[in-house]
């Protein structure tokens, strides 16, 4: 069997969808989904760490800095998993973030707490068709508060984001870094007005 040449790479063994750009207005508090389709088992079998580190921001900058700020702020973000509750039942109460199966499809409760409804998930607007292995990364309203430079009307500030996934069990615990990129924080008039 003939062997491929070392530098003639044709097979990317670890694929990702590319670096992400999270863009927020200062003071926003949002939760963003990340799909981990490469995981074949229960999300509870893994540990998750999501972080943002302060970039080397300068006043009046027009683009993201190329480096990390010396002694810059480091923020650990909360990562929320959905809860799988099994097959949907009309007599069970469901809350936001819970997933059920109905007629072979996976659905996630998008809003509400402790809601009991006889409407089946496809007919109930509080449910949405879901993807398995979806996490939510929570970006707090305080992100960027401790950074050395604040956003200006025409000049955002930046940080660098990464999500790490680690197996909980095994002698050789595998680690993945499936999502990374830039966090952009834009100026907010409501954040300035007291």
On whether residue 13 sits in a domain, the answer given is no
Q: How many domains does the chain have?
A: 2
On whether residue 117 sits in a domain, the answer given is yes
The whole-angstrom separation of Cα 74 and Cα 25 is: 19
On whether residue 186 sits in a domain, the answer given is yes
Each residue's pLDDT tens digit, 168-178: 998 999 999 99
On whether residue 151 sits in a domain, the answer given is yes
Residue 44's pLDDT is what? 85
On whether residue 6 sits in a domain, the answer given is no
The separation between CA 48 and the C-alpha centre of its own chain, rounded to angstroms, equals: 10
Each residue's pLDDT tens digit, 93-133: 999 889 999 999 999 999 889 888 889 999 999 999 988 88
Domain housing 109: 83-129
On whether residue 1 sits in a domain, the answer given is no
Query: pTM here?
Result: 0.84
Is residue 193 predicted with pLDDT exceeding 90? Answer: no
Asked if 115 and 94 count as a contact pair (C-beta separation under 8 A), the reply is yes
CATH code, 152: 2.60.40.10
């Amino acid at each position: 069997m003939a062997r491929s040449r070392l530098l003639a790479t044709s097979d990317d063994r670890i694929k990702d969808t590319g670096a992400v750009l999270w863009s927020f207005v200062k003071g926003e508090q949002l939760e963003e989904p990340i799909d981990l389709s490469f995981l074949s088992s229960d999300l509870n079998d893994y540990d998750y760490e999501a972080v943002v580190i302060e970039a080397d921001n300068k006043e009046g900058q027009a683009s993201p800095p190329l480096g990390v700020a010396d002694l810059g702020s480091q923020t650990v973000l909360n990562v929320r998993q959905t809860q799988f509750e099994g097959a949907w039942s009309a007599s069970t109460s469901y809350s936001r973030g819970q997933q059920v199966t109905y007629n072979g499809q996976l659905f996630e409760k998008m809003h509400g707490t402790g809601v009991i409804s006889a409407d089946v998930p496809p007919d109930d607007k509080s449910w949405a068709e879901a993807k398995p292995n979806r996490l939510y990364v929570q970006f707090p309203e305080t992100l960027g508060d401790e950074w050395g430079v604040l956003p200006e009307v025409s000049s955002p500030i930046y940080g660098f984001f990464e999500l790490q996934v680690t197996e909980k069990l095994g002698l050789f615990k595998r680690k993945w870094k499936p999502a990374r990129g830039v966090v952009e924080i834009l100026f907010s008039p409501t954040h300035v007005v007291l």
